[in-house]
């Protein structure tokens, strides 16, 4: 199986959908944020605060390159990973990329964003960040999964596309 790569804005459900897919398919789920935290021995908020976003993006590019060299994985990408072509291009070549497109206002209002460093501002800032990123997500997506009613429904839609 080629990799299944999930991209999209913070809080859109990549990790949840990834976990469902990994369970249904019996394959490993890798979350790029969790991998970076394990490698660096620091949390993402700590890395952003102490070492800066540039350092974090370089970590993302490194793990993306590594994961692209593997197959048979479900990969849940940090929301900003596709902003760096050097990070997303190898993953794009390693599998099928799904953009989980969820209304950013709904995400913000649902209160799931927690301590994510780039989601500490106001609702409008989050919605504007999504608007700036959406073309990038669409550019790299092989398929767009839009506003489905539940993570289970999104996972089923992905399995349907892949005929798995």
Q: Report if residue 6 touches ligand S3P, rule: CB under 6 A.
A: no
Which DSSP category does 9 fall into?
S
Strand arrangement, sheet containing 28-31? 28-31, 73-76, 3-7, 95-101, 143-146
Q: Give the integer Cα–Cα distance in Å for 53 and 80.
A: 10
Q: Give the integer Cα–Cα distance in Å for 81 and 16.
A: 18
Q: Report if residue 117 touches ligand S3P, rule: CB under 6 A.
A: yes
Residues 6 or more apart whose CB falls under 8 angstroms from that of 159 comprise: 21, 24, 25
Q: Report if residue 82 touches ligand S3P, rule: CB under 6 A.
A: no
CB of 47 to ligand S3P, least distance (A): 9
Residue pair 97/5 in contact by the 8 Å Cβ criterion: yes
Residues 6 or more apart whose CB falls under 8 angstroms from that of 125 comprise: none
User: Considering only residues 21, 30, 33, 130, which one is a binding residue for ligand S3P as defined by CB under 6 A?
Assistant: 33
Q: Could you say which residues in the range 37-66 bind ligand S3P, by CB under 6 A?
A: 44
Interface mask (CB under 6 A) for ligand S3P, residues 124-163, using x and -? ----------------------------------------
Number of shown-chain residues binding ligand S3P (CB under 6 A): 10
Q: Which is nearer to ligand S3P, 79 or 104 (CB)?
A: 79
Q: Which is nearer to ligand S3P, 75 or 164 (CB)?
A: 75
User: Stretches 17-25, 74-82, 87-95, 104-112: which one binds ligand S3P (CB under 6 A)?
Assistant: 74-82
Q: Report if residue 10 touches ligand S3P, rule: CB under 6 A.
A: yes
Q: Report if residue 118 touches ligand S3P, rule: CB under 6 A.
A: yes
What letters, b where the CB count within 10 A reaches 16 and e where it falls short, cover 103-136?
A: ebeebbeeeeeeebebbeeeeeebeebbeebbeb
**By the criterion CB under 6 A, which residues form the site for ligand S3P?**
10, 14, 33, 44, 78-80, 116-118
């Amino acid at each position: 199986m080629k990799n299944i790569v999930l991209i999209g804005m913070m809080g859109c459900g990549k990790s949840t959908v990834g976990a469902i897919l990994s369970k249904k398919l019996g394959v490993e789920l890798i979350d790029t944020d969790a991998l970076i935290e394990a490698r660096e021995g620091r949390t993402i908020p700590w890395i952003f605060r102490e070492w800066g976003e540039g350092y974090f993006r370089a970590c993302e590019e490194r793990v993306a390159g590594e994961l692209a060299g593997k197959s048979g994985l479900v990969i849940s990408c940090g929301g900003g990973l596709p902003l760096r072509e050097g990070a997303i291009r190898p993953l794009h070549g390693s599998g099928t990329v799904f953009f989980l497109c969820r209304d950013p206002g709904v995400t913000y209002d649902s209160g799931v964003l927690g301590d994510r460093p780039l989601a500490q501002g106001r609702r409008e800032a989050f919605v504007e960040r999504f608007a700036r990123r959406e073309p990038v997500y669409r550019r790299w997506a092989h398929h767009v999964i839009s506003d489905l009613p539940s993570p289970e429904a999104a996972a089923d839609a992905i399995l349907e596309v892949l005929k798995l």
